Structure 1
Amino acid sequence: MISRTMTNIGAGVALAAAAVLGTGAAAYAHECFNPNRSEQGNAGASNSQAWLTVHVEELTSHLDDVTASCVLDAYAGTGAPSSFTILVKGANGQGGTIASNNPHPDKASDGTGIDQIFAAHGTDIMGSFDACGAELPF
């Protein structure tokens, strides 16, 4: 039980950090995901200490049931993924980030290789909260 709570807290912190860093040009390690990996691949990656699966639903835990349902329905309507398996352990040889030296920031949301959550789906996430008059928890 404590492990699950710590995982949820870690996920919230990671997504909060992603929001703060989401406006940057580089895709940082703790908010990067592989958009082409299958659910089975994400499940396998989550068994390592380097990757953690976070669910958009966790962002609604501070909302009442009606508002949370509104946000999740609005988000589902975007077609964006309901979860992200993010890198939480730094990449070797790049100062702990996957794309800190990437000269092509437009590739942070192109759907290939490694993408950054808020570059790829920030508008979907924030728009869903806005559509329901809800505030993000960070």
Structure 2
Amino acid sequence: MFSRTMTNIGAGLGLAAAITLGSGAAAYAHECYNANRSAKGNAGASNSQAWFTVYFEELTFGLDPADAECVTDAYASTGAPMSFTIHVKGANGQGGVVAGNNPHESKAGDGKGIDEIFAAHGADLFYAFDSCGLALPF
């Protein structure tokens, strides 16, 4: 149980750091989630050691509170998901990307099956920051 908790905490902090500090845009671009899974399915998946739910509000950690609220509200106005249940552990027990070797890059953000967050919602993220007069931190 401790190992799963540490994996989840590490994945969430790593993803938040990638967004707010800009040190991992390339890694974040390939974070995978199941675009077709229901909220109930995501909740179930979060009980596994391979998937972890990150809420958009967590990704604004480190921003000025007013900026964080502005970015969150602007992002929510796009209709994009406010949380992502991302794949954090590969079959080998290490961090893994489900669609990392996807030969059909055009399907990486098509809203069907496994998608990459940036391919599917990168434009929504850019819009949220831009509409608040902020540059993306990465």
Common topology (TM > 0.5): yes
Q: Pick which of 3-12 and 47-56 moved more.
A: 3-12
Q: Calculate the TM-score normalised by the size of structure 1.
A: 0.77
The 1-side partners of 2:7 and 2:136 are apart by: 20
Which residue matches 1:120?
A: 120
Which residue matches 1:87?
A: 87
The 2-side partners of 1:59 and 1:135 are apart by: 15
The 2-side partners of 1:113 and 1:126 are apart by: 23
- Helix, strand or coil at the partner of 2:121: helix
Q: Pick which of 79-88 and 10-19 moved more.
A: 10-19
- Helix, strand or coil at the partner of 1:121: helix
Q: Which runs of 5+ in 1 are unaligned?
A: none
Q: Which runs of 5+ in 2 are unaligned?
A: none
- Helix, strand or coil at the partner of 2:123: helix
Aligned sequence identity (%): 58
Q: Do the aligned partners of residues 18 and 43 (structure 1) sit closer, same or farther apart at CA in structure 2, a change above 3 Å counting?
A: farther
Matches within 5 A, 1:3-82: 7=8, 10-14=11-15, 16=18, 19-21=25-27, 28=30, 31-82=31-82
The 1-side partners of 2:128 and 2:35 are apart by: 20
CA deviation vs aligned residue, 1:98-133 (integer Å, no higher than 9, x gap)? 223322100000111100000100111122012112
- What do you get for the CA RMSD once the two structures are aligned? 2.7
Q: Calculate the TM-score normalised by the size of structure 2.
A: 0.77
Aligned length: 127
* 1:60 Cα deviation after fit: 1.4
- Helix, strand or coil at the partner of 2:127: helix
- The amino acid of 1:44's aligned partner reads G
Kindly indicate whether structure 1 or structure 2 has the higher relative contact order, using CA contacts under 8 Å at least 6 residues apart.
1
